[in-house]
Structure 1
């Protein structure tokens, strides 16, 4: 089956993953993380992409971002990737490629999945066994969204802003989202949608995407509408 092109809609949030070539490390030391974030901020501003959440793992990166135009994300990722590779190869006396081909991404249904994506991204270090709690990992947006440490790269999404009327209220309500484990179903849906270039959302959101974009939202029919009675019943039973 032919690979679907990456789903894309201006002003619609995206989950983006970029991995090191052959799963090799793309960050060796703390300075690498800082430089990557500085380059990301410059590229995001230049190409009008709002960054809502991120995590820099040892050998890959997750971003939650909203482009404002038709070409924002690909141009941002291209500029960021090339600039960081030049820096990384120079500093660490290496040559050759750093990234594993094309970055992967999916369009995210804001109403049903956005805050789940925030959580998925910032819990990566916990799932990897690197830390016990997301607050212990320094290279993620949890430091900004939940703790209140200023990260100038971050542009809060409207869904995040709706968590409270003040920064402290939003941070407290955001921290409450991190209680307990994520459902395996959510993990599977997010991973499949991003890796296979499927749209991550309800059935109605997928239909809307297909009408607006003119491309398929998913390779085959899977899952269900999160607002349906059947889905809510399964969620209540922990299925």
Structure 2
């Protein structure tokens, strides 16, 4: 079955992931990680994409983005992917592919899933055994959102400001939100949506997106379509 084209719409929040080929590491050390973040900042400005959150894992990256144009996310990911591979191969004396084919992405309904996606990203290093707490991991946007660091690449989503009337209140509320974590069904829904490219939101959200694209936004129902009765 042919793969669906990636869905990208301006002004919508995209959850994006790109994995290493055959699950191989895409970073050797902190210099590699810093190179990718530098590229993210440069290319986001060039292609008019707002970066809300990120996490760099040994074998994958996750990004939460809002583009101004329908080509913003594809152009950003292509520029980062190609430039980073050249850097990585030259620096580590290797050749060939690094990434696992195409990046994966989904559109999310912020009111229902923004903080769940951010929590999933922030807690990923803990799930992978890289640290004991999200704030102990230097290569995600978590510390920015809890006030322990400032990352100029990031622009918090407007919903983040609704967490409190002061910076301290927002940071404390967000830290507690991530601390509460997600259950397995929530994690599964996010993973399934981003991997298959299905829109992540309620039926009204999906319907609103469907008005802007002919691309299918949800899995097809199992079984054959019903037969149409003949007329006359």
- Same fold per superposition (TM over 0.5): yes
Q: Secondary structure at the match of 1:107?
A: strand
- Note if contact 2:8-2:71 (Cα within 8 Å) is conserved in structure 1: no
Q: Does 1:138 align with 2:132?
A: no
- Note if contact 1:19-1:103 (Cα within 8 Å) is conserved in structure 2: yes
Q: Please give the alpha-carbon distance, in whole angstroms, between the structure 2 residues aligned to 1:58 and 1:150.
A: 23
Match of 2:94 in 1: 94
Deviations 1:96-122 (A, max 9, x none): 111111000000111111111111111
Correspondence 1:191-210 to 2 at 5 A: 191-210=191-210
How many pairs align? 222
User: Offset of 1:221 from its aligned partner?
Assistant: 5.5
Match of 1:22 in 2: 22
Deviations 1:175-221 (A, max 9, x none): 11023331111111101111011001111111111122222211235
Q: Structure 2 length normalisation: TM-score?
A: 0.92
Deviations 1:36-61 (A, max 9, x none): 10011000000000111100000110
Q: Does 1:215 align with 2:215?
A: yes
Q: Secondary structure at the match of 1:25?
A: coil
- Note if contact 1:135-1:147 (Cα within 8 Å) is conserved in structure 2: no
Q: Please give the alpha-carbon distance, in whole angstroms, between the structure 2 residues aligned to 1:89 and 1:127.
A: 29
Q: Structure 1 length normalisation: TM-score?
A: 0.89
The worse-fitting range, judged by mean Cα deviation, of 207-216 and 134-143 is 207-216
Q: Secondary structure at the match of 1:50?
A: strand
User: Offset of 1:4 from its aligned partner?
Assistant: 2.0
Q: Does 1:117 align with 2:117?
A: yes
**Structure 2 residues not aligned, in runs of 5+:** 223-232
Correspondence 1:1-239 to 2 at 5 A: 1-220=1-220
Q: Please give the alpha-carbon distance, in whole angstroms, between the structure 2 residues aligned to 1:162 and 1:21.
A: 39
Q: Please give the alpha-carbon distance, in whole angstroms, between the structure 2 residues aligned to 1:47 and 1:80.
A: 11
Q: What is the RMSD of the two structures over their aligned residues, measured on CA atoms?
A: 1.3
CA radius of gyration, larger in: 2
- Note if contact 1:13-1:109 (Cα within 8 Å) is conserved in structure 2: yes
